[in-house]
Structure 1
Amino acid sequence: MNLLKKMTSIFAIMVIMISLTLTPVFAAETNYGNWVEVADAMSEHLEKAVEVYKPGDKDAKKAATDAINVAYFKFYEKIGFEKTTMSAISGQRGSMVEHQFYRAKNSIKEDADPKEVKDEIDALITYLHEDAHTLDGTSGDSKSSDQSQEDANSLSTGQLLGELLKRFGTFFAVLGLTLREGLEAILVVAAIAAYLSKTNNRIYLKGVYIGALLGIVFSAVLAGVFNIIANTVGEVESGMGQEIFEGIAMFLAVIVLFYVSNWMLSKSEVEVWNRYIKNKVEQSVSKGNYFALSFTSFLAVAREGAELILFFQGMRTGISDNPMHMWIGLLVAAIILAIVYYLIAKVSVRLPLKPFFTFTSWLMFILCLSFLGKGIGELQEADVIGRTIVPWMNGWSAEVIGIYDRYENLIPQIILLVVTIASVIYQNNRNKKIRAELETSQEKK
C-alpha cells in the first residue's frame, strides 16, 4: 500500500497548492449567481463586437475580435463554462460552441458583411444561453427555482437532470474535469512507475515522484503568472499564453512518450530483454532514459495541474454559491485517481514480461495520439492554427481522447498512426530476428 500512500500524498499536496493559489485577490472580481448570469455577461461583450465591427477597418476588426476573445478567455474558459459544459452536457456540445467562437472571429477576419458577422455571433449567444439554462436546470422561462415537492414529482426526466445539475453542478463539474484531466497524468506516471518496478529499477521511482511534485509546484507558479498577466495586460493575453504553453507541453510529451514506447516495444521479447541486460546496454542509456521518464512525469502533471488550478480559481470567483461542492468534488476525484493509479501500477507489474511491455508501449502510443490532437487544439484556441471542419464526421468529436472533427488535428494524428504502425512492424521483425539469432547460437553450443 506504500504506492497508494505516495500517490495520495501527491494529490493532497496538489489540493493544498490549489487552495493556496485561491487568494483573496480574486475575490474582488464579479461573482455570478448562476450560469445564465455568466451567459448574459458574455453576451454583452459579444454584442459589443457586433457594434464596433466595420469591414476593412483594421482597428475596428481588432476591437471586435478582442471583444469576442474577452468573452471566451475571461468567461467561457476562466470561469469554467466550457469545462462544465463538457462534463455536465457533452464534449461534443463543448466542441461545437468552441467552434462557433472560431466562426464568429473568422467572419471578422475575412471582412464578412456585418449581417453575416451578427448572425454568427447571435448563433453563439443562443448556444451559450441554451447551455446556461441546461446547467442551471431552468428552461428559460420565469418558473421559480423554489418549486414545491409536488411540482418536482411531475418534472420530466430532462427537467430532473437540470434540477440535479443546478444543485450539484459544481460538484459534478469539478469531479468530471479532475478525473478527465488527472487521468491523463495518472496514465503517464503509472506506466513509468510500473516500468521501473517491472525492470527492478525502483531506485529511480524517486525521480519520477519528484518530477510529479515539481510539476505540481510549477503548476501553481504558472497559474499565478497567468493571473498576474491577466491583471496587468488583460485576460486575452493570459488565456492565449496558457493555451500556447499547454500546446507546447503536449508536443514535448508526444516526442518523449513516442521514444519511450518504441524503446519498450523493442524489448518486449523475453530473449531480447535478457540479451539487453546481459550486454549491459542499459548502463549506456539509463541516465538519458530515466531523465526522460522523470521529465515526462513533470510535463504531464504540470500541464494538467496549471489548467486545473486556473479552472478552480475561476469557479471560486465566478459561481460562488456552493464552494463546498467544489472542494468535495476535488477531494473525491483525488481519492479515485489515487486508487486508479494504484490499480494500474500493480496490475501492470503483475503481467508477464512480454504482455507488460506490449501493453505499456501501446498505452503510450495511444497517449501520443491523444496529446497530439489536444496540443493542436490548444494552439487553435490561441488562434495560432486555423480550423477546417471535416463534414463527414457530422460534428462528432471525442475531446477526452483528443479526437476532433478538424483536418488540422486529424491529419497529424493519421500520420503519427502510420508511423506508429510502421514502427511496431519494424520492432516486431527486429525482435524476431534477434530471437532467431539467439536460438541459433544456443543450438551451436
Structure 2
Amino acid sequence: MLVPFLIMLREGIEAALIVGIIASYLARTGRSEWLPALWVGAVLACGASLAVGAGLDIVSGELPQRAQELFEACVGLIAVALLTSMVFWMRKAARSIKGELHAGIDAALSGERQGLALVGLAFLAVAREGLESVFFLLAVLQQSSGWEAPAGAALGLAGAVVVGFAIHAMGMKLNLRVFFRWTGIFILFVAAGLVANAVRALHEAGLWNGLQQIAYDIGALLPVDGPLGSVLSGFFGYQERATLGEVLAYLAFLVPTLAFFLATGRPEPKLSGARP
C-alpha cells in the first residue's frame, strides 16, 4: 500500500502544481475567463489516462499465460522508463517549469483557436503525469493482489489533492526541492525492483534463460509476506528468492542511476506553488 501511495502522492502533487501555475497565471493576467478551458483539458487528460489503463488491463486479461508474462515485462519496463525520466525531468525542469508554462499559455492564447489551444496545453501537461501513474499502477497490480495497492493509490491521490489545495488556496509552503529529491531516490529503488521483476517475467515467458542460478534463497529467514519482508519488498523490490540475472539487473539499473541522480543534485530554487 505504501509504494502506490507515495508514487501517486508525488505524481498528483506534480499535476496539481502544473494546473495551479496555469490557473494562477490566467488569474494574474486578467484572463480568468479561460479557466474552464484549463479544467476541460485536465479532466480530459484524467479520462484518457484511465481509458488507457482500462484498455491495457482488458487486453492483458485476454492473453495466454506466456503472452501475459511478456506483457507484464513490457509494462514493467515502460513504467521504469517513465518513472526514471520523470525523476530526472522534474529535477531539471524545477527551475524553469513556471516560465515555460507561462510562455506556453501566452502562445496558446495568441492564436486563432485560443480555447482549443489552452485545452491542449492543459491536456498534455496533465496527461504526462497520468500516463506515468497508469503504467506504474499496472506494473504493481500485476505483481500483487487484494485491495491494498488500489487503496494506497487512491489515498495518495487524495493526499495530493489536499496538498495541492493547501499550496494554492491557503498559501502553504512546501520545500518541493527536498520532497522531490527524497521521493526521487525512493522511486529509483522501486524502478530497480520493477527491472528485476521484468527479468523474471521474461524468463517465465520463455524469452530469457540465462543467469538462472539462484543468487540467494532466504525465505525461511525473511519471508516476503512477513512484516519486514513486505516493507523491504515495497520499498526496495526485495524477493525472498532471486536468480543471479535478477540481482545483476537490479544492481545494473540502480547503481548508475542513483549515483547520477545524487551527483546532479545541485541546489534549486524552492517551488512554493503557483504564485508568481
> Within the alignment, does 1:248 sit opposite 2:78 as a pair?
yes
Which deviations, in whole Å up to 9, do the C-alpha atoms of 1:369-394 show, x marking residues without a partner? Answer: 13421331231221358578489xx9
Residues 87, 184 of structure 2: 8 Å contact kept: yes
The Cα shift of 1:334 comes to 7.2
CA change 1:372–1:296 in 2 (3 A) is same
Maintained 8 Å contact 1:211/1:297 = yes
State the SS of the aligned residue for 1:196. Answer: helix
Match for 2:19: what amino acid? Answer: L
Q: Deviations over 1:241-265 (max 9, x none)?
A: 223222222212311331123211x
Match of 1:187 in 2: 10
Q: What is the rounded CA distance, in whole Å, between the counterparts of 1:239 and 1:356 in structure 2?
A: 41
Residue aligning to 1:283: 103
Query: Which residue of the partner structure matches residue 416 of structure 1?
Result: 257
Distance 1:368 1:193 in 2: 19
2-side partners of 1:375 and 1:309: how far apart? 11
Higher-Rg structure is 1
- Which residue of structure 2 lines up, in the alignment, with residue 298 of structure 1? 131
Instruction: Name 2:111's counterpart in structure 1.
Output: none
* Structure 2: gaps (5+ residues): 27-34, 109-119, 223-228, 240-246, 270-276
Residue correspondence of structure 1 range 372-387 to structure 2 within 5 A: 372-382=191-201, 383=203, 384=208
- Letter of the structure 2 residue corresponding to residue 361 of structure 1: F
Count of residue correspondences: 219
1:361 aligns with 2:194: no
**Paired position in structure 1 for 2:51:** 217
User: Counterparts in 2 of 1:74-113, with a 5 A limit?
Assistant: none
Greater relative contact order (Cα 8 A, min sep 6): structure 1 or 2?
A: 2
Query: Offset of 1:223 from its aligned partner?
Result: 1.8
Tell me the SS of whatever aligns to 1:424: coil
Distance in 2, Cα, partners of 1:379 & 1:408: 9
Unaligned runs of 5+ in 1: 1-175, 268-272, 316-325, 432-445
Report the CA distance between 1:282 and its aligned residue: 4.8
Which residue of structure 2 lines up, in the alignment, with residue 142 of structure 1?
none
8 Å Cα contact 1:373/1:409 also seen in 2: yes
Distance 1:209 1:333, change over 3 A: same
The alignment's TM-score, normalised by the length of structure 1, stands at 0.39
CA distance in 1, matches of 2:121, 2:189: 22
Match of 2:93 among 249, 253, 263: 263
Which structure is higher in helix share? Answer: 1
1:360 Cα deviation from its structure 2 partner? 4.6
Distance 1:309 1:221, change over 3 A: farther
Q: Is the 8 A contact 1:370 1:402 kept in 2?
A: yes
Matches of 1:307 and 1:403 in 2, distance apart? 11
Residue 302 to residue 332, structure 1, CA distance change in 2 (3 Å): closer
Identity of aligned residues (%): 11
In 2 relative to 1, CA 361–186 (structure 1 residues): closer, same or farther, beyond 3 Å?
closer
Q: Which residue of 2 aligns with 1:13?
A: none
8 Å Cα contact 1:253-1:371 kept in structure 2: no
**Using a 3 Å threshold, how does the CA distance of structure 1 residues 334 and 367 change in structure 2: closer, same or farther?**
closer
Task: Name 1:320's counterpart in structure 2.
Answer: none
What amino acid sits opposite 2:15 in the alignment? I
Distance change >3 Å, CA 201–CA 374, structure 1 → 2: farther
Q: When the two structures are superposed, what TM-score results if normalisation uses the length of structure 2?
A: 0.59
SS at match of 2:130: helix
| Contact 2:12/2:161 (<8 A) preserved | no
Gap change, CA 1:311 and 1:281, over 3 Å in 2: closer
Query: 1:247, 1:375 within 8 Å by CA — same for their partners in 2?
Result: yes
- 1:44-443 alignment runs, 5 A limit: 176=1, 180-181=3-4, 183-198=6-21, 200=24, 204=38, 207-230=41-64, 235-264=65-94, 266=95, 277=99, 282-283=102-103, 291=124, 293-305=126-138, 308=141, 336-349=155-168, 350-352=171-173, 355-363=174-182, 365-382=184-201, 383=203, 384=208, 389=215, 398-404=232-238, 406-425=247-266, 428=268
Distance 1:309 1:403 in 2: 14
* CA–CA distance in structure 1, aligned partners of residues 150 and 177 of structure 2: 33
Residues 344, 259 of structure 1: alpha-carbon distance in 2 compared, 3 angstrom cutoff: same
The alpha carbon displacement at 1:332 in A equals: 6.4
Report the Cα distance in structure 2 between the residues aligned to 1:379 and 1:239, rounded to whole angstroms: 9
Contact 1:226 1:241 (C-alpha < 8 Å) held by counterparts: yes
